[in-house]
Amino acid sequence: MWDAFGFEFVNFYLIPGLVLGCIYALGAIGITLTFGILRFANFAHGEMMMMGGYLTWTIMAIVTALFGLTLHPLVAMVPATAVVIFLFLLTDKYFYKPFRKEDTIKVVMASFGMMLIIRSAVQAIWGPNQLKFVSGIAKPNEILRDVSGSIDLMLLVPNKHIWIFLGTIVIVIALSYLLNKTRIGKAMRAVSDSPDLAHVTGIDVDQVIRATWIVGGICAMAAGVFLAMDIQLLETTMGFRMLLPMFAAAILGGIGKPYGAVFGGLVIGLAEELSAYPWIGDTPLLSPGYKTGVAFAIMVIMLIVRPQGLFKGRSF
Amino acid sequence: MKNVLFGASALAMITSGAFADVTIGNPMAMTGPIPDLNAPIAAAVDLAAKSVNEQGGMFKSGEMLNIIRADSACDPTAAVDAVTKLINVSNVAAIVGPVCSGATIAQAESVSIPAGVVTLSVSASSPAISTMEDGTDLVFRAAASDAYQGVALAELAIEKGYMDMAVSYANDDYNAAIAAVFVDAYTAAGGTVTANEAHEPSKASYRSEVATLGSTSDNLALFAYYGSGGITVMRNALETAAFSNFIGADGMLSDEVIEQIGAENMGGVTFTTSASDPTTEAYAAWSAVAEAGGVPAADPFVPNGYDAAFMMALAIEKAGTADRGAIAAALREISSAPGEIILPGEWAKAKEILAAGGDINYEGGAGNQDFDENGDVAGLFSKSEVVDGAWVAELIK
């Protein structure tokens, strides 16, 4: 039944790899920005993604209950983003700021504690059960299937994946505009390169930190909602499970380099999925049971061979 | 002075009260991949304690039976933490639980066996548990081993006419073990396993896995927990049209699966689970107790949960003390012949016989609960399919 050229490879390995890569990329942007500008590894980032998914679900549920409408997750995401950004700023003010002048390890531990607090809070509020984000199974987009099928390159892409691709492209373009064209974006890059020098030139570091949380919050939010759209359910460890590949992506691209994070995310996502393709013979090149190991291996090799990452980030 | 005296005597009362009560530790998978399956089992354990306390409590003095619950999260690390706390801090007499095989094995090996505490699992079914002990007799379970369920599943596959199957299992103690049993039994029965791959739990996507497996067969034997990847594997398999028929075991049997995937997509899905014979007298007694207590009597492992907690209470009563050392032997005595048959809920009767020095033989809602030399019990299985948007179970003869 699957006879179109490269059908299996494109639809079952390449496209899922890109979808996963988009989610990793968005999460890694937030991680790399906090790492670059605030100088600590934020372990609570995955939980913020998860929280974003739950808040979006809640807004969808409220709208359905009040007006009988089914909101698209991308619409419900907007008000939820405001809440997540508020939470990011709140945690920064009360949990991270007091440690800013101390050793980095203290902030890292604070973020680790924050991770546990958020996860437990979500379990207490929404319960430990999985929640249904969108039920049923996602059929491939028919227009795309028919058009691509007529040129002998059958593409099976469900609508949810098209939304994820488009959403990621829009966010990355907006981010690049912000970083290159706006004053605050340039200030963010300056602080990332050298905080002391930036401070001397009169950049308001506190404002840059706030901007970092806002940008990181929007990206984390999008990553969380895209992940929930992809797996169609919510569970309380879904953000945490993404944390390691996202760190791998941030390190691969270079700490403090948002484009590096996007590139790293796509590479890690593709590497995880493509490692299970039967490149040689009929069996998977690498047992799919070791997928997570692929991201980890890339991270370790990168740290040994080129600790500053592909895009020349900071090395530690 | 008066206040101080009052305070001191109040304190004395509290402490003596705490010492007098009998406590059983109950690590359950409250969070983790199967909270939905776990909730009624936990309710059944509480119901057993309620039966005991309403009918005279423990020992001559009528002490309370307290269940101290902890979260083992269906995870080996979490289970070790939870049970360490139960044994060392809460000082429990015995452990009833955990739910998952990986959690049970880990906590037994590193905590409860070294501490000399009896574990009676409510639902751990991995064949590895039968042979894990070396010279001790401390690990029991109130649910049948998957050494039997895997065979039942293989027979079911053949009966349904699935002569070739791909196998995908989550990489953990429970799922890997039942998959291995299934593959052996299925091959021996004449089936062909076209591909057999582990998958990593809790990934966002399993499309590449199902694509690799899907090119070999139309039927998938899926061994996973529904909450840590099982639902996603099924969804990806259906989305990519890689598989149309699925069989699997306990870990996937939850209403959550129907809610998430949609009943209309689940025509070719059959999952098996441990089941009880509803025609026995013991099951009738259990279902009356369950109905009065508001617990779903026929849900997976719910009767096993009640049986486990009730038997543990009987064993402590028989031993006459909450001393850890005497419980294992007593557990064997109260659960098997000879003795007066005790059915679920008959605590007062059992207590009376034990007080008079008599023998009892507990028969539970889940089965006769006679432990063999490995601390295992025999059991029956049922298969469940989706009919009109809900699971309908049928006993496998």
Instruction: Check pLDDT > 80 for residue B46.
Output: yes
For residues A285-303, average pLDDT? 86
At A137, is the pLDDT very low, low, confident or very high (cuts 50, 70, 90)? Answer: confident
Identify whether residues B219 and B286 lie together within a single domain.
no
Instruction: Check pLDDT > 60 for residue A103.
Output: yes
B200 neighbourhood in chain A, CB within 8 Å: 288-292
Total count of domains within chain A: 1
Q: Is B64:B316 a contact under the CB 8 Å cutoff?
A: no
At A146, is the pLDDT very low, low, confident or very high (cuts 50, 70, 90)? Answer: confident
Within 19-38 of B, beta carbons closer than 8 Å to A belong to 30-32, 35-36
Q: Do the domain assignments include residue A23?
A: yes
A238 neighbourhood in chain B, CB within 8 Å: 202, 204
Instruction: Check pLDDT > 80 for residue A5.
Output: no
Q: Do the domain assignments include residue A275?
A: no
pLDDT confidence of residue A315? 67
A230 neighbourhood in chain B, CB within 8 Å: 204-205
Which pLDDT tens digit goes with each residue over A242-292? Answer: 999 999 999 999 988 899 999 999 999 999 988 888 887 777 788 877 888
Q: Do the domain assignments include residue A128?
A: yes
- Our CA-based measurement puts residue A14 at a distance from the nearest CA of chain B, in whole angstroms, of 9
Residue B39: closest C-alpha in chain A: A129
Contacts of B41 (CB under 8 A, 6+ apart): B28, B99, B122, B123, B299, B301, B302, B304, B305
pLDDT confidence of residue B216? 87
Instruction: Check pLDDT > 80 for residue B6.
Output: no
Which pLDDT tens digit goes with each residue over A47-97? Answer: 999 999 999 999 999 999 999 888 899 999 999 999 999 999 999 999 999
CB atoms A11 and B240 under 8 Å: yes
| Residue given tokens 């590949």 in the structure block | A245
> Is A271 at the interface with chain B, CB within 8 A?
no
At B17, is the pLDDT very low, low, confident or very high (cuts 50, 70, 90)? Answer: very low
For chain B, state the CA radius of gyration: 22
CB atoms B35 and A128 under 8 Å: yes
pLDDT confidence of residue B20? 63
> Is A156 at the interface with chain B, CB within 8 A?
yes
Q: Do the domain assignments include residue A26?
A: yes
Identify whether residues B134 and B16 lie together within a single domain.
yes
Identify whether residues B9 and B119 lie together within a single domain.
yes
* Residue B98, preceding peptide bond in cis (omega within 30° of 0): yes
- Our CA-based measurement puts residue B223 at a distance from the nearest CA of chain A, in whole angstroms, of 13
CB atoms A137 and B198 under 8 Å: no
Identify whether residues B235 and B336 lie together within a single domain.
no
Q: Is B369:B48 a contact under the CB 8 Å cutoff?
A: no
Q: Do the domain assignments include residue A294?
A: no
At A316, is the pLDDT very low, low, confident or very high (cuts 50, 70, 90)? Answer: low
pLDDT confidence of residue A151? 80
User: Among B208, B252, B261, which would you mutate to test the A interface (most chain A Cβ atoms within 10 Å of its Cβ)?
Assistant: B208
Instruction: Check pLDDT > 70 for residue A1.
Output: no
Contacts of B321 (CB under 8 A, 6+ apart): none
Instruction: Check pLDDT > 80 for residue A152.
Output: no
For residues B230-243, average pLDDT? 91
Of A19, A123, A287, which has the smallest distance from its Cβ to B197's Cβ? A287
Half-sphere exposure of A157 (CA within 13 A, CB side): 24
Identify whether residues B59 and B130 lie together within a single domain.
yes
Strand duo A233-234 + B22-28: pairing: unpaired
Identify whether residues B198 and B113 lie together within a single domain.
no
Which pLDDT tens digit goes with each residue over B61-116? Answer: 999 999 999 999 999 999 999 999 999 999 999 999 899 999 999 999 999 999 99
% of chain A beyond a pLDDT of 70: 98
In this predicted complex, what is the ipTM? 0.84
Within 233-252 of A, beta carbons closer than 8 Å to B belong to 233, 235-238, 241-242
pLDDT confidence of residue B16? 41
Q: Tally Cβ neighbours within 10 Å of residue B157.
A: 23
Identify whether residues B152 and B98 lie together within a single domain.
no
Least confident window among A2-6, A309-313, B53-57: A2-6
What is the side-by-side strand order in the sheet with B192-199? B192-199, B164-170, B219-223, B245-248, B269-275, B380-387, B390-395
Identify whether residues B141 and B167 lie together within a single domain.
no
Identify whether residues B265 and B177 lie together within a single domain.
yes
Domain that holds residue A187: 7-238
Give the residue, B114 or B18, on which the prediction is more confident.
B114
B81 neighbourhood in chain A, CB within 8 Å: none
Which pLDDT tens digit goes with each residue over B126-175? Answer: 999 998 988 889 999 999 999 989 999 999 999 999 999 999 999 888 99
Q: Do the domain assignments include residue A256?
A: no
At B9, is the pLDDT very low, low, confident or very high (cuts 50, 70, 90)? Answer: very low
Q: Do the domain assignments include residue B96?
A: yes
Full DSSP string of B330-395:
HHHHHHSSSSEEE-TT-HHHHHHHHHTT--EEE-BTTB-----TTS----EEEEEEEETTEEEEEE
B211 neighbourhood in chain A, CB within 8 Å: 8, 11-13
pLDDT confidence of residue B15? 43
Structure tokens given for B143: 């649910």
A276 neighbourhood in chain B, CB within 8 Å: 208-209, 212
Of A23, A132, A274, which has the smallest distance from its Cβ to B260's Cβ? A132
Instruction: Give the integer Cα–Cα distance in Å for B200 and B223.
Output: 12
B36 neighbourhood in chain A, CB within 8 Å: 129-130
Instruction: Check pLDDT > 50 for residue B13.
Output: no
pLDDT confidence of residue A47? 95
- Our CA-based measurement puts residue B147 at a distance from the nearest CA of chain A, in whole angstroms, of 24
Of B199, B240, B265, which has the smallest distance from its Cβ to A136's Cβ? B265
Total count of domains within chain B: 2
Identify whether residues B168 and B28 lie together within a single domain.
no
CB atoms A139 and B205 under 8 Å: no
Does the predicted TM-score (pTM) go above 0.80? yes
Burial of B121 by CB count in 10 Å (0-12 exposed, 13-18 middle, 19+ buried)? Answer: buried
Instruction: Give the integer Cα–Cα distance in Å for B280 and B294.
Output: 21
> Is A16 at the interface with chain B, CB within 8 A?
yes
> Is B244 at the interface with chain A, CB within 8 A?
no
User: Among A130, A131, A226, which would you mutate to test the B interface (most chain B Cβ atoms within 10 Å of its Cβ)?
Assistant: A130
For residues B194-213, average pLDDT? 88
Instruction: Check pLDDT > 80 for residue A24.
Output: yes
pLDDT confidence of residue B14? 45
Identify whether residues B139 and B160 lie together within a single domain.
no
- Our CA-based measurement puts residue B230 at a distance from the nearest CA of chain A, in whole angstroms, of 11
Which pLDDT tens digit goes with each residue over B354-393? Answer: 999 999 999 999 999 999 999 999 889 999 999 999 999 9
At B231, is the pLDDT very low, low, confident or very high (cuts 50, 70, 90)? Answer: very high
Q: Do the domain assignments include residue B172?
A: yes
Within 166-225 of B, beta carbons closer than 8 Å to A belong to 171, 195, 197-200, 202-212, 215
Instruction: Check pLDDT > 70 for residue A300.
Output: yes
Q: Tell me, rounded to whole angstroms, the distance of Cα A271 from its chain centroid.
A: 16
Of A238, A273, A283, which has the smallest distance from its Cβ to B208's Cβ? A273
Amino acid at position B384, single letter:
S
> Is A287 at the interface with chain B, CB within 8 A?
yes
Q: Do the domain assignments include residue B29?
A: yes
CB atoms B205 and A127 under 8 Å: no
Q: Do the domain assignments include residue B183?
A: yes
Identify whether residues B202 and B314 lie together within a single domain.
no
CB atoms B199 and A289 under 8 Å: yes
Q: Do the domain assignments include residue A228?
A: yes
Residue B235: closest C-alpha in chain A: A137
Residue A227: closest C-alpha in chain B: B204
- Our CA-based measurement puts residue B199 at a distance from the nearest CA of chain A, in whole angstroms, of 4
Domain that holds residue B183: 147-275+383-395
Residue B199: closest C-alpha in chain A: A289
User: Residue B51: which of B322, B235, B307 has the closest Cα?
Assistant: B307
Q: Do the domain assignments include residue B368?
A: no
Q: Which CATH number do you get for residue B207?
A: 3.40.50.2300
Q: Do the domain assignments include residue A111?
A: yes
